[in-house]
Amino acid sequence: MKKIKIFAIILWTSMLFLTIELANAQSFSGLDKESHDITYFKVDNDSKPQIKVIYGRPTTDNDSVFGTEIPYGKIWKTGTNEATEIKFYQDVMFGNKYVKAGTYVMYTIPNKDYWTIILNSNTDTYGAYFYNPEKDIAKIKVPATDGKPIDIFSIGFNSKNYGTQMVLAWGKTRVKIPLYTEENLLTKL
């Protein structure tokens, strides 16, 4: 009888520790503090996506992020954590560069008046630590303008009569990257 009580106490104690461990595992400690987002470009709501962007969304209370938190003239992962990934479902004109359909990493080099936008084939990388210029697919320069302050880095799309713009926005800075797909151009003719 004594052995059964000892066995029951050991079993009960083990179950208690297991329950506590499972409860701790469900607390999700160690998750990223910065959120991630996915944005799509579609010609209209009923069409399939032409472009998909997956990126981290850092936050700030500073209207002048670039030049302070993100230094000018240095390669930036264009978000937080993993490098920003962009998928083109069809061939595109990225600014004035022809880019085949596929998945790429988008790096940027912010400057006060313009940004260098880089598409690179070295995907699934963390930040800009593994940036290899030999893997660059396209590199363009676009103007940087001011806009209403926004605290969370965001990427979206604007469709214009002459094409599409991928817009990067954070703090007061806005960068518009011109993109042209075959369908995008044909719908405007």
Shared domain check, 146 and 178: yes
Shared domain check, 157 and 145: yes
Residue type, 158: N
Burial class (CB in 10 A: 0-12, 13-18, 19+), 111: middle
For residue 23, pLDDT beyond 70: no
For residue 13, pLDDT beyond 80: no
Shared domain check, 70 and 18: no
Shared domain check, 4 and 67: no
Question: What is the pLDDT of the chain when averaged over all its residues?
Answer: 84
Q: Are 122 and 135 in contact (CB under 8 A)?
A: yes
- Give the pLDDT of residue 71: 93
Q: For residue 6, what are the domain limits?
A: 1-31
Shared domain check, 122 and 110: yes
Shared domain check, 82 and 14: no
For residue 20, pLDDT beyond 70: no
- Give the pLDDT of residue 14: 63
Q: Is the dihedral of CA 108, 109, 115, 120 positive or negative?
A: negative
Shared domain check, 127 and 95: yes
Shared domain check, 149 and 61: yes
- Give the pLDDT of residue 24: 55
Q: pLDDT digit string (tens) for 100-159?
A: 999 999 999 999 999 999 999 999 888 888 899 999 999 999 999 999 999 999 999 988
Number of domains in the chain: 2
For residue 93, pLDDT beyond 60: yes
With H, G, I as helix, E, B as strand and everything else as coil, classify residue 62. Answer: coil
**Residues 77-93: what's their mean pLDDT?**
93
